[in-house]
Structure 1
Amino acid sequence: MTAEEQAQWIAEIVEVALEREPAELPSFLQEACGDDAALRHEVESLLGYQKEATDFIERPAYEANATLLAGEDRAEKIGEILGQYKIISLLGEGGMGEVYLAEDAQLGRHVAIKLVKAGFGRASLVRHFQREERILAALTHPNIARLYGGGITPDGIPFFVMEYVEGERVDVYCDRHALNFRDRLQLFRKICSAVAYAHQHLVIHRDLKPSNIRVTPEGEPKLLDFGIARLLEDETTSVTEQTMTLAGVMTPDYASPEQVRGEAMTTASDVYSLGVILYELVTGTKPYRTKSRRLDEISRAITEQEPPRPSTSIAKGSPQSAIRNPKSLRGDLDNIVLKTMRKEPARRYASVGQFSEDIRRHLEGLPVIARKDTIAYRTSKFVARNRIAVAAAILIALAILAGLIVSLWEAGNARRQRDVAQRERSKAERINKFLQDMLGSAAPEVRGIDIRVSDVLGEAVRRAKDDAVNQPDVMADVLLTLGRTYVSLGQYPAAEDTLRAALGASLKANGEANLTTARIMAWLGLTLPFQNKPAEGETFARKAVELLPKSPSSTPEDLGVALYGVGLGLIGESEPKAAQPFLHDAADVLKKYLGEKHGYYMASIVMLAKAHEGSGDRDGAEALYRQAITIGQNTEYRFRIYLAQAAAFLGSMLSSKGNYVEAEQTLRLSEAVYREQMGDSTMSVGAVLQYLGNVYLAQGDYAKAEAELRKSQEILAKTLNREHPSTLTSTALLGLSLSRAGKAAEGEPYLREALTMRRKILAPNDYLIPLTESALGECLTIQKRYEEAEPLLTHGYEGLKSLLGDQDRRVIGARQCLAKLYEEWGKPDKASRYR
Structure 2
Amino acid sequence: MLNADAWARLGELFHQATELPESERTTFVHAHAGDDPELQRELLALIAADTDATRRLRDPLQHAAEATLRASDPELPPGTRFGPWALERVIGSGGMGRVYLARRADGAYEREVALKRVRTPALDARRHGHFEYECRLLAQMQHPAIAQIHDAGIEPDGHAWLVMEYIRGQPISTWCDQHASSLRQRVELLVKAGEGVQHAHQKGVIHRDLKPGNVLVGNVDGQPLPKIIDFGIAVETDAEGEVSGGGTPGYMSPEQARAGSEADARSDVYSLGAMLHELACGMRPQAGTVLAPSQCLQALPAQKQRELAARRATTPRVLRRELCDGVDAIVLKAMQAECSARYESVSSLLDDLRRWLAHYPPRAAGRVRWLAARKFVRRNRLVVSATGVVAAALVAGLLVTSWSLRQARQEAARAKVTSDFLASVLDSVDPAISQDLDKTLMLRVLDDASKRAGRELAAWPDIQADVELLIGINQTQLAAFEPAIAHLQVVRTLAGKHPGLLEFQYLRATQVLGDALVGAGELQEANALLAEGIERARSGDPEHLWLAYDMQSRLAMVLSDLGRPDAALREAREAEAGQARLLPADDQFRLDAKKRLANILSSTGDQLQAIALLRDILQRRTHLKGAEDPLTLVTRRDLAVAYLYQRDFAAAEAQLRPVVDAYERLYGEDNGYTAGARGLLAGALRQQGKVEASGPHYRAAMEWSRIHSGPEAPDTIVARHNHANWLLAAGHAEESEREQRALLEIADRVFSRNHPVTAEILRGLAEAELALGHVADAHLHASAALQAMREVYGDDRGDPLRSVRETLENVEKARRKNDAPRQREHR
| TM-score where L is the length of structure 1 | 0.51
| Aligned mates of 2:195, 2:611 — CA distance in 1 | 47
| Aligned mates of 2:283, 2:270 — CA distance in 1 | 27
Q: Is the 8 A contact 1:484 1:523 kept in 2?
A: yes
State how 1:693-704 maps to structure 2 within 5 Å. Answer: 693-704=682-693
| Aligned mates of 1:747, 1:693 — CA distance in 2 | 17
Q: Is the 8 A contact 2:453 2:464 kept in 1?
A: yes
Q: Say which SS state the counterpart of residue 717 (structure 1) adopts.
A: helix
| Aligned mates of 2:713, 2:320 — CA distance in 1 | 37
Q: Is the 8 A contact 1:576 1:612 kept in 2?
A: no
Superposition deviation, residue 589 in structure 1 = 5.0
Could you list the per-position Cα deviations for residues 102-124 of structure 1 after superposition, in whole angstroms to 9, with x for gaps in the alignment? Answer: x999963669xxxxxxxxxxxxx
What number of residue pairs does the alignment pair up? 512
Cα distance change, pair 538–162 in 1 and its aligned pair in 2 (3 A): farther
Cα distance change, pair 521–172 in 1 and its aligned pair in 2 (3 A): closer
Cα distance change, pair 524–430 in 1 and its aligned pair in 2 (3 A): same
| Aligned mates of 2:592, 2:772 — CA distance in 1 | 45
Residue 626 of structure 1 pairs with residue 619 of structure 2: no
| Aligned mates of 1:764, 1:231 — CA distance in 2 | 53
Equivalent residue number for residue 813 of structure 1: 806
Equivalent residue number for residue 282 of structure 2: 174
How large is the RMSD of aligned CA atoms in angstroms? Answer: 5.1
| Aligned mates of 2:16, 2:616 — CA distance in 1 | 54
Match 1:504 to one of 490, 515, 523: 490
Equivalent residue number for residue 425 of structure 2: 438
| Aligned mates of 1:441, 1:430 — CA distance in 2 | 17
Equivalent residue number for residue 310 of structure 2: 186
Cα distance change, pair 567–831 in 1 and its aligned pair in 2 (3 A): farther
Could you list the per-position Cα deviations for residues 776-834 of structure 1 after superposition, in whole angstroms to 9, with x for gaps in the alignment? Answer: 2332443455676564445445545665649632223321442465478x4447999xx
| Aligned mates of 1:600, 1:831 — CA distance in 2 | 64
Q: Say which SS state the counterpart of residue 567 (structure 2) adopts.
A: helix
State how 1:768-779 maps to structure 2 within 5 Å. Answer: 768-779=757-768
Equivalent residue number for residue 108 of structure 1: 199
| Aligned mates of 1:186, 1:516 — CA distance in 2 | 30
Residue 576 of structure 1 pairs with residue 555 of structure 2: no
Equivalent residue number for residue 494 of structure 1: 480
Equivalent position amino acid for 1:634 in 2:
H
Equivalent residue number for residue 646 of structure 1: 635
Q: Is the 8 A contact 1:683 1:720 kept in 2?
A: no
Equivalent residue number for residue 705 of structure 1: 694
Equivalent residue number for residue 459 of structure 1: 445
| Aligned mates of 1:686, 1:441 — CA distance in 2 | 31
Structure 1 gaps of 5+ residues are 1-8, 25-102, 112-141, 143-160, 236-265, 272-339, 350-372, 374-419
Equivalent residue number for residue 733 of structure 1: 722
Superposition deviation, residue 766 in structure 1 = 1.2
| Aligned mates of 1:430, 1:555 — CA distance in 2 | 28
Q: Is the 8 A contact 1:205 1:270 kept in 2?
A: no
State how 1:739-750 maps to structure 2 within 5 Å. Answer: 739-750=728-739
Residue 231 of structure 1 pairs with residue 369 of structure 2: yes
Superposition deviation, residue 747 in structure 1 = 3.2
Equivalent residue number for residue 124 of structure 2: none
Structure 2 gaps of 5+ residues are 18-193, 203-224, 226-268, 286-299, 336-345, 347-352, 374-394
Q: Say which SS state the counterpart of residue 480 (structure 2) adopts.
A: helix
Could you list the per-position Cα deviations for residues 514-550 of structure 1 after superposition, in whole angstroms to 9, with x for gaps in the alignment? Answer: 3312210012224433443333223222322333356
Superposition deviation, residue 673 in structure 1 = 5.3
State how 1:334-373 maps to structure 2 within 5 Å. Answer: 345-346=403-404
Q: Say which SS state the counterpart of residue 502 (structure 1) adopts.
A: helix
Q: Is the 8 A contact 2:556 2:569 kept in 1?
A: yes
| Aligned mates of 1:816, 1:14 — CA distance in 2 | 88
Q: Is the 8 A contact 1:532 1:725 kept in 2?
A: yes
Equivalent position amino acid for 1:632 in 2:
R
Could you list the per-position Cα deviations for residues 427-466 of structure 1 after superposition, in whole angstroms to 9, with x for gaps in the alignment? Answer: 5444433333333333367x68644255224432354145
Could you list the per-position Cα deviations for residues 701-725 of structure 1 after superposition, in whole angstroms to 9, with x for gaps in the alignment? Answer: 2112222211221233344333222
State how 1:117-516 maps to structure 2 within 5 Å. Answer: 165=273, 167=275, 169-170=277-278, 174=282, 183-187=307-311, 226-227=364-365, 230-232=368-370, 345-346=403-404, 421-422=410-411, 426-443=413-430, 450-465=436-451, 467-468=453-454, 471=457, 473=461, 474-487=463-476, 489=477, 491=478, 493-495=479-481, 497-508=483-494, 510-511=496-497, 514-516=503-505
| Aligned mates of 1:597, 1:609 — CA distance in 2 | 16
| Aligned mates of 1:774, 1:172 — CA distance in 2 | 56
Q: Is the 8 A contact 1:515 1:551 kept in 2?
A: no
Could you list the per-position Cα deviations for residues 660-679 of structure 1 after superposition, in whole angstroms to 9, with x for gaps in the alignment? Answer: 22122123344455556655
Cα distance change, pair 506–739 in 1 and its aligned pair in 2 (3 A): same
Could you list the per-position Cα deviations for residues 573-602 of structure 1 after superposition, in whole angstroms to 9, with x for gaps in the alignment? Answer: 333333345434543454555522232221
Equivalent position amino acid for 1:811 in 2:
V
Equivalent residue number for residue 754 of structure 2: 765
Equivalent residue number for residue 118 of structure 2: none
Equivalent residue number for residue 533 of structure 2: 544
Q: Is the 8 A contact 1:346 1:428 kept in 2?
A: no
Higher alpha-carbon deviation: 733-742 or 686-695 = 686-695
Cα distance change, pair 547–656 in 1 and its aligned pair in 2 (3 A): closer
Equivalent residue number for residue 743 of structure 2: 754
Superposition deviation, residue 483 in structure 1 = 2.7
Could you list the per-position Cα deviations for residues 28-59 of structure 1 after superposition, in whole angstroms to 9, with x for gaps in the alignment? Answer: xxxxxxxxxxxxxxxxxxxxxxxxxxxxxxxx
Q: Say which SS state the counterpart of residue 624 (structure 2) adopts.
A: coil
Equivalent position amino acid for 1:633 in 2:
T
Cα distance change, pair 457–173 in 1 and its aligned pair in 2 (3 A): closer
Q: Is the 8 A contact 2:485 2:513 kept in 1?
A: yes
Q: Is the 8 A contact 1:796 1:814 kept in 2?
A: no
Match 2:652 to one of 652, 659, 663: 663
Q: Is the 8 A contact 2:763 2:785 kept in 1?
A: yes
Q: Is the 8 A contact 2:702 2:716 kept in 1?
A: yes
Q: Say which SS state the counterpart of residue 536 (structure 1) adopts.
A: helix
Equivalent position amino acid for 1:501 in 2:
H
Residue 599 of structure 1 pairs with residue 550 of structure 2: no
Cα distance change, pair 686–810 in 1 and its aligned pair in 2 (3 A): same
| Aligned mates of 2:532, 2:651 — CA distance in 1 | 41
Cα distance change, pair 497–442 in 1 and its aligned pair in 2 (3 A): same
Q: Say which SS state the counterpart of residue 468 (structure 1) adopts.
A: helix
Equivalent position amino acid for 2:310 in 1:
Q
Could you list the per-position Cα deviations for residues 247-271 of structure 1 after superposition, in whole angstroms to 9, with x for gaps in the alignment? Answer: xxxxxxxxxxxxxxxxxxx969999
Could you list the per-position Cα deviations for residues 733-776 of structure 1 after superposition, in whole angstroms to 9, with x for gaps in the alignment? Answer: 11111122112344344323322211110033113323312322
| TM-score where L is the length of structure 2 | 0.52
| Aligned mates of 1:556, 1:678 — CA distance in 2 | 35
| Aligned mates of 1:183, 1:500 — CA distance in 2 | 44
Could you list the per-position Cα deviations for residues 596-652 of structure 1 after superposition, in whole angstroms to 9, with x for gaps in the alignment? Answer: 223222111011122333454333323222222222232224994333333323322
Residue 534 of structure 1 pairs with residue 531 of structure 2: no
| Aligned mates of 1:348, 1:765 — CA distance in 2 | 54
Equivalent position amino acid for 1:645 in 2:
V
Equivalent position amino acid for 2:426 in 1:
L
